[in-house]
Structure 1
Amino acid sequence: MSTNTDMRRLSRLSAILLQLQTKRMLSANNLAEKFGVSVRTIYRDIRVLEQIGVPVASLDGKGYSLAEGYKIPPVMFTEQEANALVTAGQLLHLNKDSSLISAYTEAVDKVKAVLNYAAKDKAELLTERVAVSPASIKQATSNSLTAIQNALTSFAVLRISYTAEGKTESSERLIEPFAFYYSAQQHWTLIAFCRLRNDFRMFRLDRMGVVELTDMKFTPHQLNLQEYLQEKEKNFITTDKQLS
């Protein structure tokens, strides 16, 4: 086997390990398609990982996952990857949700912490040399995005107070978070099943008052996000008209 082939395989093994770290389960077909190799090659790669002590579990023929509790050393970022995150962080100030800005800033700080000194200095320099027009940055209009994200992924019911378009008084809702949509008006919108209306609705985060996590759980919805959005667009229903 040539040196180039060995290097490609070593690179692929590292990449497979990274994929297994970031996904709960991956099939051999998924991995073969991602890396442009045969399924048989993936089988061989998985055996190599097992032989060097990586606890790869096979889940009833459905795919592979890392054994729960297995810890992988911190991932090292390239200079280009770190710079991309730094630049994206500046653009993130346009999103108008303070909780997301805070969480992203903390994440980027953790990335910087594992960089070598040279890359760290360059990342700091880039941070000082990327700016967004002040006219584009308005005061944050919500601070609940990250809390709602947690509810969405945990299938937890939220209790919110909500002021609909054109109304002055808020109403209390129990909602089941389904998906997020960033509108053309640059507002974060939550698509959720509203128990008051017994239907899916769009709720602008800047119109939410209280956002409270309840102890209630709901069954995951099978709604397809893209189909839902396409149907709304086809019917010429704007976000504001859906907020009721």
Structure 2
Amino acid sequence: MLDNDTSRLSRLVAILTQLQSRRMVTSTELAGRFNVSVRTIYRDIRTLESAGVPIVTEEGKGYSLVDGYRLPPVMFSEEEANALITAEKLVLLNKDSLLQNYAGAVTKIKAVLRGNLKDQTDLLSRRVAFEETSSLKSSSNFLSSVQIALTHFNVIQLTYQSSAKDEMTTRLVEPFAVINRLGENWYLIAWCRTRQDFRLFRFDRVIRLEITGDTFKPHKISLEEFLENYRSKF
């Protein structure tokens, strides 16, 4: 098989992986990811359709797989498996509610690895560690709940302890993003309906968190734009 044929086959498989892992993906995104023209992506999509892959094209939005269609399990390269093991160590370091969910996901991933690759990842798991540089032991039971609220655009009601006066306030906030300072705290970036502005909330100062049935419209600003414009305020 010629090199360009091999390259195209690899790209077609990668496009299938992208379609399975995301609800919608655009031709521009795919072209940028694989460093080809949009026209090439159009041809690739037609090739996949001709092979029987049920791809839905939404004008002006992008491509998706027909709901319910699933591809066979994806095989991981050694480098990809190693990256997942390393990420697992970071999750363990933070000791938050994400730990159990991530551990379950990694276990499922390990189940599809080849036998020799399982041995190699087990070895790597015993040889990778992140040392905490802070005496603060980060722990939170709220991260998973916040992630659900963030992706479903649910308003959160927080009972929050202020650091300045040690007083508690109750606020309705629209979750925007979560950030972490390695080995320290998780922070929730949210639009505070009381302050009518974005605020930063430390997870270890959250006394109570409740996901309400109220929803909000997604904020148009990206996380990168937020950090560029608001970093000095926090």
Pairwise same-fold verdict (TM > 0.5):
yes
Distance in 1 (CA, whole Å) between partners of 2:182 and 2:30 is 35
1:206 corresponding residue in structure 2: 204
Write the distance in 1 (CA, Å) between the matches of 2:160 and 2:60.
Answer: 46
Q: Shift in Å at residue 134 of structure 1?
A: 5.9
Per-residue deviation, 1:216: 0.9
Is 2:81 the partner of 1:78?
no
- How many pairs were matched up? 234
2:18 corresponds to: 19
| TM norm structure 1 | 0.86
- 2:217 aligned to which of 202, 216, 219: 219
Deviations 1:62-113 (A, max 9, x none): 321111111111211112211111122113333x351122222222111111
Q: Which residue of 2 aligns with 1:89?
A: 88
User: Match of 2:56, as an amino acid?
Assistant: A
Deviation of the 1:136 alpha carbon: 5.2
Equivalences for residues 41-52 of structure 1 within 5 A: 41-52=40-51
Shift of the alpha carbon at 1:231?
3.0
Question: CA-to-partner distance for each residue in 1:36-86, whole Å, 9 max, x for gaps?
Answer: 223232222111111111001110243211111111112111122111111
TM-superposed CA distance for 1:137, in Å, is 7.3
State the distance in 1 between where 2:135 and 2:69 align. 42
> Paired residue for 2:52?
53
Change (3 A) 1:168 1:106: same
Q: Among the aligned pairs, what percent are the same residue?
A: 49
Counterpart position of 1:99: 97
DSSP 3-state at the match of 1:193: strand
| Deviation digits for residues 100-152 of structure 1 (CA, Å, limit 9, x no counterpart) | 22222222111111101111111111111222336657533322112101101
Which residue matches 1:189? 187
8 Å contact kept, 1:13–1:49: yes
Residue among 151, 157, 162 paired with 1:164: 162
- AA matched with 2:7: R
TM-score by length of 2: 0.90
> How many angstroms apart in 2 are the aligned matches of 1:177 and 1:153?
9
- Name the CA distance, whole Å, in 1 between partners of 2:133 and 2:191: 35
Contact kept in structure 1, 2:176 and 2:191, CA below 8 Å: yes
* AA partner of residue 158 (structure 2): I
Structural RMSD (CA): 2.2
1:154 positional shift = 0.4
Q: Is the 8 A contact 2:137 2:183 kept in 1?
A: no
Counterpart CA distance in 1 for 2:168 and 2:57 is: 50
Question: For residues 55 and 194 of structure 1, do their structure 2 counterparts lie closer, same or farther at Cα, with a shift above 3 Å needed?
Answer: same
**Alignment-mate amino acid for residue 33 of structure 1:** G
Structure 1: state its 5+ residue gaps. 240-244
CA shift, 1:3, in A, is 2.6
Which amino acid is the alignment partner of residue 222 of structure 1? Answer: K
CA–CA distance in structure 1, aligned partners of residues 77 and 85 of structure 2: 12
Mapped partners of 1:86, 1:224: distance in 2: 29
Structure 2 partner of 1:144: 142
Q: Does the Cα contact within 8 Å between 1:97 and 1:144 map onto a contact in 2?
A: no
- Alignment pair present for 1:122 and 2:120: yes
- 1:44–1:137 CA distance, 2 compared to 1 (3 A): farther
**Residue 110 of structure 2 corresponds to residue 112 of structure 1:** yes
